[in-house]
């Protein structure tokens, strides 16, 4: 299958942030076969499909490096509470009522929302993850999935076994769209012995670790009280940061923590909306970036955001640091956009395949409708996207060379069916 997208401005997000005016993209099967100026492509009419990109802007799909997709169920439930109270009194008791097949529909709801906002890859940590994997396979999106692990308790070995089974059954499935990580939840939910077991599993499977880290001041204070050191230092001493680690939040960091994250090349998933909504604080991303740490963007679950828009996170990331530090030069738009794309790919170890539009990369491409008032005049695409763009500007989406959305219509997901199933689950869980 060969598709040509022509007459389109293209933000490649390659190393030089190359921009093509009125360029074209050739998609051949799952990959980008050509990208560049129209005059350089030898048009031979051997295309299966030609798309006219007039009035659109092409760019790599957004990458959401930290979420819990099935938590769409809890969108709008239990708002305005601190993290620990929110989790222990509201979310965890409700999660106990979830059954396996619920996760499929709740994941599909999240995937539909993400695709419509131009998110083509997400990293997830939750339970019943094989159902999420099934939703990834059916919808055509790209997913990096981990079983959330807590312990030790009576079920902690089963959870480890489920993470292993997720890898056995799903690693590389969906034409390589599904990747698996190991997901120890956090230092406050995993004892050192259990963190070590998770680390051993990640080593054995040769995959990365996805963990929440230094999200709240309370987490850091409790860790210092219990172990005499910060969560970052605690993981460092356990050896858990020796492999590929994706750390969500990293809101409360000392200089030593920053140095450790840099030394171990830990990838950070910055989740500004969730950190704001839960009152957790504001992550020092300008310090992280100065230190040389890779910072990507995550939405966290829909219960603490309350949507799954990477464009929103991108705007927040760019704006908050400027305001808090009273310094408008921090986190310029180009950096924010790189956090949402290439840095996301690096955070997931997928930078050779996705995150930028380059020949031989996977064709994870989005088209935005820029023939709209908030994109005029057509001065600077990157600043427009970060400071005035909306998720609803996304017009078309391809993942792995397959078109998943056309003119905002999802081609692989029956939205009405998803809404119906999610309503049934909601009524059952909430007892209404
Ligand atoms: Zn989270």
Cα 26 to ligand 1 centroid, rounded to whole Å: 37
Cα 67 to ligand 1 centroid, rounded to whole Å: 6
Look up the CATH number of the domain holding residue 136: 3.20.20.140
Cα 275 to ligand 1 centroid, rounded to whole Å: 10
Q: Same structural domain for residues 154 and 9?
A: no
CA distance 209 to 239: 12
Span 75-104, mean pLDDT? 89
Give a yes or no: residue 394 inside a domain. Answer: yes
Axis crossing angle, helix 192-205 with helix 156-170, rounded to the nearest 10: 10
CA distance 154 to 137: 31
Mean pLDDT of the chain: 96
* 56, β-bridge pairs: 369
Q: Same structural domain for residues 130 and 200?
A: yes
Cα 280 to ligand 1 centroid, rounded to whole Å: 12
Q: Same structural domain for residues 24 and 45?
A: yes
Give a yes or no: residue 420 inside a domain. Answer: no
184 three-class SS: strand
Span 74-81, mean pLDDT? 87
Of the chain, the percentage scoring pLDDT greater than 90 comes to 92
pLDDT tens sequence across 260-305: 999 999 999 999 999 999 999 999 999 999 999 999 999 999 999 9
Of 28-42, 361-375, 401-415, the poorest mean pLDDT is in: 28-42
Parent domain of 246: 62-347
CA distance 366 to 404: 10
Give a yes or no: residue 427 inside a domain. Answer: no
Q: Same structural domain for residues 309 and 371?
A: no
Look up the CATH number of the domain holding residue 11: 2.30.40.10
Count of alpha carbons within 13 angstroms of residue 135, beta-carbon side: 30
Give a yes or no: residue 367 inside a domain. Answer: yes
Give a yes or no: residue 418 inside a domain. Answer: no
**Given this model, what pLDDT does residue 336 score?**
98
**Given this model, what pLDDT does residue 86 score?**
85
Q: Same structural domain for residues 106 and 138?
A: yes
CA distance 27 to 402: 9
| Structure-token match 């099934």, residue found | 134
Q: Is the pLDDT of residue 45 over 80?
A: no
Give a yes or no: residue 194 inside a domain. Answer: yes
Q: Are 245 and 208 in contact (CB under 8 A)?
A: yes
Q: What is the pTM of this model?
A: 0.98
Cα 326 to ligand 1 centroid, rounded to whole Å: 28
Cα 66 to ligand 1 centroid, rounded to whole Å: 6
Q: Same structural domain for residues 277 and 395?
A: no
Chain centre distance of CA 385: 18
Q: Are 57 and 376 in contact (CB under 8 A)?
A: no
Q: Same structural domain for residues 301 and 205?
A: yes
Cα 60 to ligand 1 centroid, rounded to whole Å: 24
Q: Same structural domain for residues 160 and 287?
A: yes
Number of domains in the chain: 2
Span 200-224, mean pLDDT? 98
Q: Same structural domain for residues 303 and 371?
A: no
Q: Same structural domain for residues 283 and 239?
A: yes
**Given this model, what pLDDT does residue 87 score?**
87
**Position with higher pLDDT, 270 vs 93:** 270
Q: Same structural domain for residues 161 and 275?
A: yes
**Given this model, what pLDDT does residue 432 score?**
59
Give a yes or no: residue 187 inside a domain. Answer: yes
Q: Same structural domain for residues 293 and 373?
A: no
**What is the four-CA torsion angle of 38, 41, 45, 46, rounded to 10 degrees?**
-130
Give a yes or no: residue 419 inside a domain. Answer: no
Cα 281 to ligand 1 centroid, rounded to whole Å: 15
Cα 125 to ligand 1 centroid, rounded to whole Å: 8
Span 9-17, mean pLDDT? 97
Chain centre distance of CA 168: 23
Tell me the pLDDT band of 233, cut-offs 50, 70 and 90.
Answer: very high
Cα 64 to ligand 1 centroid, rounded to whole Å: 12
Cα 129 to ligand 1 centroid, rounded to whole Å: 15
Cα 124 to ligand 1 centroid, rounded to whole Å: 9
């Amino acid at each position: 299958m060969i598709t040509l997208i022509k007459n389109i401005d293209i933000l490649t997000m390659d190393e030089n942030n190359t921009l093509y005016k009125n360029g074209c993209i050739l998609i051949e099967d799952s990959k980008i076969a050509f990208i560049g100026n129209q005059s350089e492509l030898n048009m031979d009419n051997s295309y299966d499909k030609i798309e006219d990109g007039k009035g659109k802007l092409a760019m790599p799909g957004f990458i959401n490096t930290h979420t819990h997709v099935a938590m769409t169920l809890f969108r709008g439930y239990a708002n305005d509470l601190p993290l620990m109270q929110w989790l222990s009194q509201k979310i965890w008791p409700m999660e106990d009522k979830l059954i396996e097949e619920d996760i499929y529909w709740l994941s599909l709801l999240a995937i539909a929302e993400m695709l419509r906002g131009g998110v083509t890859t997400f990293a997830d940590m939750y339970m019943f993850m094989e159902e999420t994997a099934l939703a990834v396979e059916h919808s055509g999106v790209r997913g990096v999935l981990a079983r959330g692990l807590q312990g030790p308790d009576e079920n902690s070995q089963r959870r480890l076994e489920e993470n292993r089974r997720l890898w056995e059954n799903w690693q590389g499935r969906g034409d390589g769209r599904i990747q698996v990580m190991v997901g120890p939840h956090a230092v406050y939910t995993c004892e050192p012995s259990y963190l070590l077991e998770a680390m051993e599993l990640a080593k054995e499977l040769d995959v990365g670790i996805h963990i929440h880290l230094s999200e709240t001041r309370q987490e850091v204070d409790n860790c210092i009280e219990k172990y005499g050191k910060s969560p970052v230092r605690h993981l460092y001493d356990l050896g858990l940061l020796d492999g590929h680690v994706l750390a969500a939040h990293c809101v409360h960091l000392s200089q030593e923590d920053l140095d450790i994250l840099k030394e171990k090349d830990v990838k950070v998933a910055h989740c500004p909306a969730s950190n704001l909504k839960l009152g957790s604080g504001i992550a020092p991303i300008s310090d992280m970036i100065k230190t040389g740490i890779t910072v990507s963007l995550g939405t966290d679950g829909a219960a603490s955001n309350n949507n799954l828009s990477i464009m929103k996170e991108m705007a927040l990331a760019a704006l908050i640091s400027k305001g808090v530090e009273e310094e408008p030069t921090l986190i310029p738009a180009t950096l924010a956009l790189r956090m949402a794309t290439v840095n996301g790919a690096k955070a997931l170890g997928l930078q050779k395949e996705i995150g930028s539009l380059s020949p031989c990369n996977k064709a994870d491409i989005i088209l935005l409708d820029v023939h709209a008032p908030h994109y005029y005049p057509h001065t600077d695409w990157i600043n427009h996207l970060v400071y005035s763009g909306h998720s609803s500007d996304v017009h078309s989406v391809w993942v792995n060379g397959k078109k998943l959305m056309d003119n905002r219509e999802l081609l692989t997901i029956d939205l009405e069916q998803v809404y119906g199933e999610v309503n049934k689950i909601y009524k059952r869980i909430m007892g209404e």
